[in-house]
Amino acid sequence: MDVRYSFTLLALCVGVAPVAADEFVLAGGGRIVGEWANAAESPRVKYEVRLPSGGSVVFDKDQVTDVVRRTPDEIEYERVRHEQPDTIDGHWQLAEWCRDHKLTELRKRHLERVIEIEPNHVKARAALGYNRIQGQWRTQAEHLSALGKVQYKGQWRYPQEIQIIESKQKSDSSRQLWYGNMKRWRDWLNGAKQQQAVTELKAVTDPLAVPALSEYMLKEENEQVRKLYAEALIHIGSAQADAFLADRSLRDPSQEIRIICLDYLDDVPQQSLIDYYIRELHNSDNTIINNAAVALSRFKDPRSIGPLIDALITKHKYAVTTGNPGGGLSASNGSGGSGLSSGSKTTIITDEKRNQPVLDSLITILGGKVNFSFEVNDWKQWYAGQKKQRLLDVRRS
Protein backbone atom coordinates (compact mmCIF):
# COMPACT_ATOMS: atom_id res chain seq x y z
CA MET A 1 0.00 0.00 0.00
CA ASP A 2 1.15 3.59 -0.73
CA VAL A 3 3.14 5.00 2.22
CA ARG A 4 1.48 8.41 1.92
CA TYR A 5 -1.95 6.75 2.06
CA SER A 6 -0.97 4.78 5.18
CA PHE A 7 0.22 7.91 6.91
CA THR A 8 -2.97 9.81 6.03
CA LEU A 9 -5.20 7.00 7.27
CA LEU A 10 -3.25 6.72 10.50
CA ALA A 11 -3.61 10.45 11.05
CA LEU A 12 -7.35 10.12 10.60
CA CYS A 13 -7.59 7.42 13.20
CA VAL A 14 -5.45 8.69 16.06
CA GLY A 15 -5.52 11.95 17.90
CA VAL A 16 -7.27 14.22 15.37
CA ALA A 17 -10.22 16.27 16.55
CA PRO A 18 -13.62 15.78 14.90
CA VAL A 19 -14.27 18.02 11.94
CA ALA A 20 -17.38 19.78 10.71
CA ALA A 21 -19.48 18.98 7.67
CA ASP A 22 -17.91 20.62 4.63
CA GLU A 23 -14.60 20.37 2.77
CA PHE A 24 -13.38 23.33 0.69
CA VAL A 25 -11.03 22.68 -2.23
CA LEU A 26 -8.73 25.65 -2.76
CA ALA A 27 -7.42 26.94 -6.09
CA GLY A 28 -3.84 26.43 -4.97
CA GLY A 29 -4.47 22.72 -4.39
CA GLY A 30 -5.03 22.78 -0.63
CA ARG A 31 -8.13 21.72 1.30
CA ILE A 32 -9.75 23.05 4.45
CA VAL A 33 -12.54 21.47 6.52
CA GLY A 34 -15.16 23.44 8.40
CA GLU A 35 -18.75 24.62 8.48
CA TRP A 36 -19.98 26.67 5.52
CA ALA A 37 -21.33 29.69 7.33
CA ASN A 38 -22.70 31.67 4.34
CA ALA A 39 -23.94 28.81 2.12
CA ALA A 40 -27.12 30.75 1.30
CA GLU A 41 -25.30 33.79 -0.10
CA SER A 42 -26.36 34.65 -3.68
CA PRO A 43 -24.75 35.82 -5.82
CA ARG A 44 -21.61 34.24 -4.40
CA VAL A 45 -18.97 36.78 -3.36
CA LYS A 46 -16.99 34.95 -0.69
CA TYR A 47 -16.80 31.73 1.31
CA GLU A 48 -16.93 32.01 5.11
CA VAL A 49 -15.75 28.88 6.92
CA ARG A 50 -16.12 28.21 10.65
CA LEU A 51 -13.18 26.11 11.79
CA PRO A 52 -13.55 23.09 14.14
CA SER A 53 -11.02 24.66 16.52
CA GLY A 54 -13.01 27.91 16.74
CA GLY A 55 -12.86 31.12 14.77
CA SER A 56 -13.46 31.42 11.05
CA VAL A 57 -11.70 32.19 7.79
CA VAL A 58 -12.97 33.97 4.67
CA PHE A 59 -12.00 33.25 1.03
CA ASP A 60 -12.82 35.18 -2.13
CA LYS A 61 -15.04 33.13 -4.46
CA ASP A 62 -12.12 32.67 -6.95
CA GLN A 63 -10.00 31.07 -4.21
CA VAL A 64 -12.38 28.08 -3.84
CA THR A 65 -12.81 25.65 -6.75
CA ASP A 66 -15.20 23.17 -5.11
CA VAL A 67 -17.16 22.50 -1.93
CA VAL A 68 -17.79 18.90 -0.85
CA ARG A 69 -20.93 18.78 1.29
CA ARG A 70 -21.07 15.97 3.85
CA THR A 71 -24.08 13.87 4.79
CA PRO A 72 -25.14 13.37 8.41
CA ASP A 73 -23.63 9.86 8.32
CA GLU A 74 -20.31 11.28 7.11
CA ILE A 75 -20.35 13.82 9.91
CA GLU A 76 -21.07 11.05 12.42
CA TYR A 77 -18.22 9.03 10.93
CA GLU A 78 -15.81 11.84 11.78
CA ARG A 79 -16.82 11.32 15.41
CA VAL A 80 -16.86 7.52 15.66
CA ARG A 81 -13.59 6.93 13.80
CA HIS A 82 -11.69 8.48 16.72
CA GLU A 83 -13.18 5.91 19.08
CA GLN A 84 -11.33 3.00 17.44
CA PRO A 85 -7.61 2.27 17.60
CA ASP A 86 -5.33 1.69 14.61
CA THR A 87 -5.61 -2.10 14.97
CA ILE A 88 -7.11 -4.96 12.95
CA ASP A 89 -10.17 -5.06 15.19
CA GLY A 90 -10.52 -1.26 15.27
CA HIS A 91 -10.54 -0.92 11.49
CA TRP A 92 -12.80 -3.96 11.11
CA GLN A 93 -15.35 -2.35 13.47
CA LEU A 94 -15.16 0.90 11.48
CA ALA A 95 -15.59 -1.02 8.22
CA GLU A 96 -18.73 -2.70 9.63
CA TRP A 97 -20.06 0.67 10.81
CA CYS A 98 -19.46 2.14 7.33
CA ARG A 99 -21.23 -0.83 5.75
CA ASP A 100 -24.29 -0.27 7.92
CA HIS A 101 -24.35 3.40 6.93
CA LYS A 102 -23.63 2.77 3.23
CA LEU A 103 -20.33 4.66 3.24
CA THR A 104 -18.75 2.42 0.61
CA GLU A 105 -15.51 4.26 -0.08
CA LEU A 106 -14.75 4.83 3.60
CA ARG A 107 -15.44 1.15 4.31
CA LYS A 108 -13.00 0.18 1.60
CA ARG A 109 -10.26 2.32 3.19
CA HIS A 110 -10.65 0.53 6.52
CA LEU A 111 -10.72 -2.92 4.92
CA GLU A 112 -7.56 -2.08 3.01
CA ARG A 113 -5.94 -1.00 6.30
CA VAL A 114 -6.95 -4.38 7.80
CA ILE A 115 -5.18 -6.38 5.08
CA GLU A 116 -2.23 -4.01 5.24
CA ILE A 117 -1.80 -5.04 8.88
CA GLU A 118 -2.82 -8.70 8.33
CA PRO A 119 -2.51 -9.73 4.63
CA ASN A 120 -4.35 -13.04 5.19
CA HIS A 121 -7.38 -11.62 6.96
CA VAL A 122 -10.02 -13.78 5.23
CA LYS A 123 -13.11 -11.68 6.00
CA ALA A 124 -11.50 -8.42 4.88
CA ARG A 125 -10.16 -10.08 1.74
CA ALA A 126 -13.60 -11.48 0.92
CA ALA A 127 -15.27 -8.11 1.54
CA LEU A 128 -12.84 -6.51 -0.91
CA GLY A 129 -13.60 -9.14 -3.54
CA TYR A 130 -10.47 -11.23 -3.20
CA ASN A 131 -10.28 -14.98 -3.77
CA ARG A 132 -7.48 -17.39 -3.01
CA ILE A 133 -6.27 -18.50 -6.46
CA GLN A 134 -3.22 -20.75 -6.77
CA GLY A 135 -1.94 -19.63 -3.38
CA GLN A 136 -2.34 -15.91 -4.09
CA TRP A 137 -4.98 -13.37 -3.11
CA ARG A 138 -6.53 -11.88 -6.23
CA THR A 139 -9.59 -9.83 -7.00
CA GLN A 140 -11.73 -10.94 -9.91
CA ALA A 141 -10.31 -8.07 -11.94
CA GLU A 142 -6.75 -9.13 -11.18
CA HIS A 143 -7.54 -12.77 -11.99
CA LEU A 144 -9.23 -11.94 -15.30
CA SER A 145 -6.43 -9.54 -16.19
CA ALA A 146 -3.90 -12.28 -15.51
CA LEU A 147 -5.82 -14.49 -17.95
CA GLY A 148 -5.28 -11.87 -20.64
CA LYS A 149 -8.74 -10.32 -20.55
CA VAL A 150 -9.46 -6.59 -20.60
CA GLN A 151 -12.53 -4.57 -19.69
CA TYR A 152 -14.68 -3.68 -22.69
CA LYS A 153 -18.00 -1.88 -22.33
CA GLY A 154 -18.57 -3.21 -18.81
CA GLN A 155 -17.48 -6.79 -19.51
CA TRP A 156 -14.23 -8.72 -19.36
CA ARG A 157 -13.25 -10.05 -22.78
CA TYR A 158 -10.23 -11.40 -24.60
CA PRO A 159 -8.71 -8.96 -27.11
CA GLN A 160 -9.58 -11.42 -29.91
CA GLU A 161 -13.26 -11.30 -28.85
CA ILE A 162 -13.20 -7.50 -28.91
CA GLN A 163 -11.71 -7.56 -32.39
CA ILE A 164 -14.49 -9.88 -33.61
CA ILE A 165 -17.22 -7.75 -31.96
CA GLU A 166 -15.88 -4.51 -33.45
CA SER A 167 -15.45 -6.14 -36.84
CA LYS A 168 -19.07 -7.34 -36.72
CA GLN A 169 -20.29 -3.89 -35.69
CA LYS A 170 -18.37 -2.38 -38.58
CA SER A 171 -19.84 -4.99 -40.95
CA ASP A 172 -23.37 -4.39 -39.67
CA SER A 173 -22.93 -0.67 -40.20
CA SER A 174 -21.67 -1.23 -43.74
CA ARG A 175 -24.57 -3.58 -44.53
CA GLN A 176 -27.05 -0.91 -43.41
CA LEU A 177 -25.27 1.59 -45.63
CA TRP A 178 -25.78 -0.75 -48.62
CA TYR A 179 -29.53 -0.93 -47.93
CA GLY A 180 -29.61 2.84 -48.19
CA ASN A 181 -27.67 2.72 -51.46
CA MET A 182 -30.01 0.09 -52.92
CA LYS A 183 -33.12 2.09 -52.06
CA ARG A 184 -31.66 5.20 -53.69
CA TRP A 185 -30.55 3.39 -56.84
CA ARG A 186 -33.89 1.61 -57.22
CA ASP A 187 -35.61 4.98 -57.11
CA TRP A 188 -33.19 6.33 -59.72
CA LEU A 189 -34.00 3.45 -62.09
CA ASN A 190 -37.49 4.91 -62.48
CA GLY A 191 -36.29 8.41 -63.33
CA ALA A 192 -33.74 10.66 -64.97
CA LYS A 193 -30.83 9.07 -63.10
CA GLN A 194 -31.44 5.61 -64.54
CA GLN A 195 -28.05 5.37 -66.26
CA GLN A 196 -26.24 6.55 -63.13
CA ALA A 197 -27.99 3.81 -61.11
CA VAL A 198 -26.90 1.19 -63.65
CA THR A 199 -23.32 2.47 -63.46
CA GLU A 200 -23.35 2.37 -59.66
CA LEU A 201 -24.71 -1.20 -59.61
CA LYS A 202 -22.08 -2.41 -62.06
CA ALA A 203 -19.33 -0.92 -59.89
CA VAL A 204 -20.30 -2.80 -56.69
CA THR A 205 -17.59 -5.15 -55.41
CA ASP A 206 -18.12 -5.12 -51.63
CA PRO A 207 -19.25 -8.54 -50.25
CA LEU A 208 -21.15 -6.65 -47.53
CA ALA A 209 -23.57 -5.47 -50.25
CA VAL A 210 -24.81 -9.05 -50.84
CA PRO A 211 -27.66 -9.06 -48.23
CA ALA A 212 -29.13 -5.83 -49.62
CA LEU A 213 -28.78 -6.94 -53.26
CA SER A 214 -30.32 -10.33 -52.46
CA GLU A 215 -33.29 -8.84 -50.63
CA TYR A 216 -33.98 -6.33 -53.39
CA MET A 217 -33.72 -9.03 -56.06
CA LEU A 218 -36.20 -11.28 -54.24
CA LYS A 219 -38.89 -8.59 -54.04
CA GLU A 220 -38.27 -7.12 -57.51
CA GLU A 221 -40.96 -7.82 -60.14
CA ASN A 222 -39.21 -6.19 -63.10
CA GLU A 223 -37.15 -8.85 -64.90
CA GLN A 224 -34.60 -6.38 -66.30
CA VAL A 225 -33.93 -4.92 -62.87
CA ARG A 226 -33.51 -8.43 -61.42
CA LYS A 227 -31.03 -9.09 -64.18
CA LEU A 228 -29.02 -6.01 -63.09
CA TYR A 229 -28.99 -7.29 -59.51
CA ALA A 230 -27.87 -10.77 -60.63
CA GLU A 231 -25.03 -9.26 -62.64
CA ALA A 232 -23.95 -7.17 -59.63
CA LEU A 233 -23.87 -10.31 -57.46
CA ILE A 234 -21.83 -12.11 -60.12
CA HIS A 235 -19.39 -9.21 -60.11
CA ILE A 236 -18.97 -9.52 -56.33
CA GLY A 237 -18.28 -13.26 -56.54
CA SER A 238 -18.25 -14.04 -52.81
CA ALA A 239 -19.36 -17.38 -51.34
CA GLN A 240 -22.54 -15.74 -50.02
CA ALA A 241 -23.28 -14.24 -53.44
CA ASP A 242 -22.68 -17.61 -55.13
CA ALA A 243 -25.06 -19.37 -52.74
CA PHE A 244 -27.81 -16.86 -53.50
CA LEU A 245 -27.21 -17.12 -57.26
CA ALA A 246 -27.49 -20.92 -56.98
CA ASP A 247 -30.90 -20.45 -55.35
CA ARG A 248 -31.96 -18.05 -58.14
CA SER A 249 -30.75 -20.51 -60.78
CA LEU A 250 -33.55 -22.78 -59.56
CA ARG A 251 -36.26 -20.39 -58.43
CA ASP A 252 -36.17 -17.17 -60.43
CA PRO A 253 -39.29 -16.87 -62.63
CA SER A 254 -37.17 -15.83 -65.61
CA GLN A 255 -35.48 -18.60 -67.59
CA GLU A 256 -32.99 -16.04 -68.91
CA ILE A 257 -31.90 -15.09 -65.38
CA ARG A 258 -31.70 -18.75 -64.34
CA ILE A 259 -29.38 -19.39 -67.30
CA ILE A 260 -27.28 -16.29 -66.51
CA CYS A 261 -26.77 -17.62 -62.97
CA LEU A 262 -25.87 -21.11 -64.24
CA ASP A 263 -23.48 -19.75 -66.87
CA TYR A 264 -21.59 -17.97 -64.09
CA LEU A 265 -21.70 -20.86 -61.60
CA ASP A 266 -20.37 -23.21 -64.28
CA ASP A 267 -16.96 -21.67 -63.67
CA VAL A 268 -17.17 -21.76 -59.87
CA PRO A 269 -15.57 -25.05 -58.75
CA GLN A 270 -17.30 -25.35 -55.39
CA GLN A 271 -18.21 -28.72 -53.92
CA SER A 272 -20.91 -27.05 -51.85
CA LEU A 273 -22.76 -25.97 -55.01
CA ILE A 274 -22.97 -29.54 -56.31
CA ASP A 275 -24.11 -30.74 -52.87
CA TYR A 276 -26.81 -28.05 -52.91
CA TYR A 277 -28.18 -29.10 -56.31
CA ILE A 278 -28.16 -32.78 -55.31
CA ARG A 279 -30.20 -31.95 -52.18
CA GLU A 280 -32.72 -30.06 -54.30
CA LEU A 281 -33.43 -33.26 -56.28
CA HIS A 282 -35.50 -34.24 -53.22
CA ASN A 283 -37.59 -31.07 -53.33
CA SER A 284 -41.38 -31.47 -53.18
CA ASP A 285 -41.70 -29.06 -56.12
CA ASN A 286 -41.17 -30.94 -59.38
CA THR A 287 -40.07 -27.76 -61.19
CA ILE A 288 -37.21 -27.30 -58.72
CA ILE A 289 -36.19 -30.97 -59.19
CA ASN A 290 -35.93 -30.52 -62.96
CA ASN A 291 -34.09 -27.21 -62.65
CA ALA A 292 -31.59 -28.85 -60.27
CA ALA A 293 -31.06 -31.64 -62.81
CA VAL A 294 -30.32 -29.05 -65.51
CA ALA A 295 -27.75 -27.44 -63.19
CA LEU A 296 -26.08 -30.80 -62.43
CA SER A 297 -25.72 -31.51 -66.14
CA ARG A 298 -23.36 -28.50 -66.24
CA PHE A 299 -21.03 -29.86 -63.57
CA LYS A 300 -20.95 -33.51 -64.77
CA ASP A 301 -20.02 -34.73 -61.29
CA PRO A 302 -20.24 -38.57 -60.98
CA ARG A 303 -21.65 -38.23 -57.46
CA SER A 304 -24.89 -36.89 -58.91
CA ILE A 305 -25.62 -40.05 -60.96
CA GLY A 306 -27.28 -42.03 -58.14
CA PRO A 307 -29.48 -39.12 -56.94
CA LEU A 308 -30.49 -38.37 -60.55
CA ILE A 309 -31.57 -41.99 -61.06
CA ASP A 310 -33.73 -41.70 -57.93
CA ALA A 311 -35.29 -38.51 -59.34
CA LEU A 312 -36.19 -39.93 -62.79
CA ILE A 313 -39.73 -40.62 -61.66
CA THR A 314 -41.11 -38.69 -58.68
CA LYS A 315 -44.36 -38.97 -56.83
CA HIS A 316 -46.19 -35.95 -55.48
CA LYS A 317 -49.23 -35.91 -53.22
CA TYR A 318 -52.00 -33.33 -53.55
CA ALA A 319 -55.11 -32.71 -51.47
CA VAL A 320 -58.22 -32.28 -53.63
CA THR A 321 -61.44 -30.99 -52.03
CA THR A 322 -64.81 -31.64 -53.68
CA GLY A 323 -68.34 -30.61 -52.71
CA ASN A 324 -69.36 -27.59 -50.68
CA PRO A 325 -66.26 -26.27 -48.85
CA GLY A 326 -68.53 -24.39 -46.41
CA GLY A 327 -69.97 -27.61 -45.04
CA GLY A 328 -73.58 -28.30 -44.16
CA LEU A 329 -76.52 -28.57 -46.60
CA SER A 330 -77.05 -26.17 -49.47
CA ALA A 331 -79.58 -25.98 -52.31
CA SER A 332 -78.43 -25.03 -55.84
CA ASN A 333 -77.98 -26.18 -59.40
CA GLY A 334 -76.43 -24.72 -62.50
CA SER A 335 -79.71 -23.52 -64.06
CA GLY A 336 -81.13 -21.77 -61.02
CA GLY A 337 -83.00 -24.85 -59.76
CA SER A 338 -82.36 -26.62 -56.51
CA GLY A 339 -80.19 -29.53 -55.42
CA LEU A 340 -78.64 -30.80 -52.21
CA SER A 341 -74.96 -30.77 -51.14
CA SER A 342 -73.91 -32.37 -47.91
CA GLY A 343 -70.53 -30.67 -47.29
CA SER A 344 -67.02 -31.15 -48.72
CA LYS A 345 -64.72 -34.14 -49.09
CA THR A 346 -60.91 -34.04 -49.24
CA THR A 347 -59.04 -36.73 -51.13
CA ILE A 348 -55.25 -37.24 -51.25
CA ILE A 349 -54.13 -37.87 -54.84
CA THR A 350 -50.68 -39.20 -55.78
CA ASP A 351 -49.35 -37.88 -59.07
CA GLU A 352 -46.38 -39.61 -60.76
CA LYS A 353 -44.05 -37.45 -62.85
CA ARG A 354 -41.54 -38.60 -65.47
CA ASN A 355 -38.83 -35.96 -65.41
CA GLN A 356 -37.32 -35.54 -68.87
CA PRO A 357 -34.72 -32.94 -67.73
CA VAL A 358 -33.46 -35.49 -65.18
CA LEU A 359 -33.06 -38.13 -67.89
CA ASP A 360 -31.35 -35.61 -70.17
CA SER A 361 -28.93 -34.74 -67.38
CA LEU A 362 -28.03 -38.41 -66.81
CA ILE A 363 -27.37 -38.95 -70.49
CA THR A 364 -25.23 -35.78 -70.67
CA ILE A 365 -23.13 -36.73 -67.64
CA LEU A 366 -22.56 -40.25 -69.08
CA GLY A 367 -21.59 -38.86 -72.47
CA GLY A 368 -24.57 -40.48 -74.19
CA LYS A 369 -23.13 -43.98 -73.69
CA VAL A 370 -25.98 -45.24 -71.50
CA ASN A 371 -29.75 -44.69 -71.79
CA PHE A 372 -32.37 -46.83 -70.10
CA SER A 373 -35.03 -44.17 -70.59
CA PHE A 374 -37.37 -44.20 -67.55
CA GLU A 375 -36.68 -47.83 -66.63
CA VAL A 376 -35.51 -47.02 -63.12
CA ASN A 377 -34.73 -50.64 -62.16
CA ASP A 378 -32.48 -51.02 -65.19
CA TRP A 379 -30.66 -47.83 -64.25
CA LYS A 380 -30.17 -49.03 -60.67
CA GLN A 381 -28.87 -52.45 -61.73
CA TRP A 382 -26.43 -50.82 -64.12
CA TYR A 383 -25.28 -48.30 -61.47
CA ALA A 384 -24.77 -51.04 -58.87
CA GLY A 385 -22.62 -52.92 -61.39
CA GLN A 386 -20.56 -49.78 -62.02
CA LYS A 387 -19.92 -49.30 -58.31
CA LYS A 388 -18.95 -52.96 -57.90
CA GLN A 389 -16.52 -52.71 -60.83
CA ARG A 390 -14.92 -49.57 -59.37
CA LEU A 391 -14.45 -51.37 -56.05
CA LEU A 392 -12.74 -54.32 -57.80
CA ASP A 393 -10.49 -51.95 -59.70
CA VAL A 394 -9.47 -50.25 -56.44
CA ARG A 395 -8.64 -53.60 -54.80
CA ARG A 396 -6.57 -54.74 -57.78
CA SER A 397 -4.60 -51.55 -57.78
Task: Show the domains of the chain with their CATH numbers.
Answer: 3-152 (2.30.30.100), 172-325+344-396 (1.25.10)
- The lowest-confidence range among 256-260, 371-375, 388-392 is 388-392
Q: Is the separation of the CB atoms in 244 and 274 below 8 Å?
A: no
**pLDDT of 320 higher than 90:** no
% of the chain at pLDDT higher than 70: 88
The pLDDT-based confidence of 302 (bands split at 50, 70, 90) is very high
Average pLDDT over residues 178-196: 95
Percent of the residues in the chain that have a pLDDT greater than 90, as a whole number: 60
Strand partners, 348: 319
**Half-sphere exposure (CA, 13 Å, Cβ side) for 359?**
14
- For the ranges 12-16, 149-153, 239-243, the maximum mean pLDDT occurs at 239-243
pLDDT of 213 > 70? The answer is yes
Q: Is 348 helix (H, G, I), strand (E, B) or coil?
A: strand
Q: Would residue 204 be called left, alpha or beta, if left means φ above 0 and alpha means ψ between -120 and 50 degrees?
A: beta
Q: Which residues, listed in sequence order, are joined to residue 318 by a DSSP beta bridge?
A: 349
Q: Average pLDDT for residues 176-180, to the nearest whole number?
A: 92
CA of 299: how far to CAs of 250, 256, 292, 293, 368, in Å? 15, 19, 11, 10, 15
- Give pLDDT tens digits for 236-245: 999 999 999 9
Lowest mean pLDDT among 218-232, 248-262, 339-353, 361-375: 339-353
pLDDT tens-digit map of 95-149: 999 999 999 999 999 999 999 999 999 999 999 888 888 788 888 788 888 888 8
Q: Which residues lie closer than 8 Å to 166 by C-beta, 6 or more apart?
A: none
**pTM listed for this prediction:** 0.56
Mean pLDDT of 166-182: 83
Cβ 81 vs Cβ 93: under 8 Å: no
